[in-house]
Amino acid sequence: MTELQAGGAGTQSREALGRVAPTLLSALLFLSLFYVPLLGGLFNPFAPLPIIYSFFRFGESAALIAVLFSTLVVTAASDVRTGAFYFLSYGLMALVMARLMARQSGPTKSIAYAALATMAGTAAFFIATEGLPIGAYVEELYKVAQALLGELIATYKKAGMQDEQLDMLVKNSALIAKWIVNLLPGMAVSAYLLVAISNYSAYKFIQSRWKYLQSPDETDMTLWSPPEQTVFVFIAGLGLTLYPVEWSRVAGINLLVVTVLLYSVSGLFILKFWFEKINFPKFLRMFVYILILLQPFVAVAVAAAGLFDLWFDFRKIRSKAGVKEE
């Protein structure tokens, strides 16, 4: 074999490996939730990212093949139901998001439509696999919530929690389980939006380092904020929550869960913007982010910053847009 042939064979091997690696990595990231305690919850949401990379590195057909093979890997490692769930959730999110990113649709549309497609796929999965009426399905969820609360109370008892606090949990366990089920729609929407935002931001970060990948748009994510109309959804959520009827409170709190998440993400981007602007030490930034996770009051302040940015324009992005229009 000549040196030229050897080099060609090496290039083909690397390309083949580059096509196979995203397939395996996406499946492993998805499966980490089931096989890697604690850390799996951090790795799992990024399962769409290798497929998005494959889309921009090798093309749309390669990404579709990668999703199909990842589904087979997940199915082989678990079962058909889990494989179908992967395909209709993370696989679908990766394909829809990558297509919108390739069209330069911008972060808001790419994130929203990818999350919407995934929620529709997940809903179709549960309807097809469970085959239960909505009322019966809610009852099953309520039983699961009660069982999980029972396990949690047993764990707290072993850990030595005071009897008064345990008694309070036991007495209110039915009410807590009921509200867990009531808030599932808002939490599900928030979870998929957060996964979509994380994967979009992660690809933007990778593309900024690997310039051979296509850029989805020129938007700096530190300047991103929810659409201005989101504030009306937030206000509607507050109004419904204050109305003294249970269905109204449930609907209002679900709306608040989603909008508060969006404003929290916006607040984090505001914080990151100022970190970079004042050149805040990177090793100290991690402590601030940990503080946000551990201290509810700080987290509320971050969400409030995202909300009030609509009026105070902390990054001066709206004033700049106004100058350009003039």
- For residue 220, the model assigns a pLDDT of 84
pLDDT band at 148 (very low <50, low <70, confident <90, very high): confident
Q: CATH number for the domain including 200?
A: 1.10.1760
Q: What is the pLDDT of residue 163?
A: 75
Please choose, from the candidates 29, 37, 117, the residue with its C-alpha nearest in 3D space to the C-alpha of residue 73: 29
Residues 138 and 195 in one domain: no
pLDDT in tens, 256-265: 999 999 999 9
Could you tell me the residue range of the domain that residue 164 belongs to? Answer: 132-182
* Tokens of residue 266, six digits: 């916006």
Question: Same structural domain for residues 192 and 65?
Answer: yes
pLDDT tops 70 at residue 7: no
Query: What pLDDT is recorded for position 320?
Result: 58
Which amino acid, 94? Answer: A
Residue 3 lies in a domain: no
Say whether pLDDT at 13 is over 90: no
Q: Give the whole-angstrom CA distance, residue 285 versus residue 275.
A: 8
Q: Stretch 96-100: mean pLDDT, rounded?
A: 95
Q: Is there a single domain that holds both residue 55 and residue 164?
A: no
Task: State residue 132's pLDDT score.
Answer: 64
The answer on pLDDT for 230 being more than 70 is: yes
Decide if 286 contacts 275 (C-beta within 8 A): no
C-alpha span between 292 and 314 (Å, rounded): 19
Q: What is the pLDDT of residue 233?
A: 96
Q: In this predicted model, what pLDDT tens digit does every residue of 16-34 receive, in sequence order?
A: 666 788 889 999 999 999 8
Let me know whether 23 and 113 are in one domain: yes
In a domain, 43, yes or no: yes
Output 64 or 127, whichever has higher pLDDT. 64
More confident of the two residues 77 and 322? 77
Average pLDDT value over all residues in the chain: 87
Examine the domain organization and report whether 22 and 125 are in the same domain. Answer: yes
Helix, strand, coil shares of the chain as percentages rounded to 5?
85, 0, 15
164 and 125 housed in the same domain: no
- 3-state DSSP assignment of residue 161: coil
- Quick one: CA torsion of 211, 216, 217, 222, rounded to 10 degrees? -80
Other CB atoms within 10 Å distance of the CB of residue 69:
17
With cut-offs at 50, 70 and 90, classify the pLDDT of residue 11. low
Secondary structure of residue 187 in the 3-state scheme: helix
Give the tens place of pLDDT for each residue, 203-213: 999 998 888 88
pLDDT for position 12: 63
Q: Binning pLDDT at 50, 70 and 90, where does residue 298 land?
A: very high
226 and 113 assigned to the same domain: no
Contact 89, 119 (CB under 8 A): no
So what's the pLDDT on residue 64? 94
Regarding whether 149 and 237 lie in a shared domain, the answer is no
Res. 145: pLDDT tops 90:
no
Which position has the higher pLDDT, 282 or 233? 233
Residues 111 and 75 both lie in one domain? yes
What is the pLDDT confidence band of residue 175, given thresholds at 50, 70 and 90?
Answer: confident
pLDDT: which is higher, 321 or 243: 243
Q: Are residues 322 and 252 in the same domain?
A: yes
3-state secondary structure of 26: helix
Q: Is the pLDDT score of 321 beyond 60?
A: no
Give the whole-angstrom CA distance, residue 274 versus residue 280: 8
Q: For helices 92-102 and 184-209, what crossing angle results, to 10°?
A: 50
The Cα 232–Cα 280 span in angstroms is 34
Instruction: Assess whether 124 and 24 both reside in one domain.
Output: yes
Retrieve residue 170's tokens. Answer: 């036991």
Backbone angles phi, psi at 228, to 5 degrees: -60, -30
Q: What is the pTM of this model?
A: 0.87
Identify the pLDDT of residue 207: 92
Q: Are residues 52 and 118 in the same domain?
A: yes
Check residue 90 and give its pLDDT: 95
Q: 86: how many CB neighbours lie within 10 A of its CB?
A: 24
1 falls within a domain: no
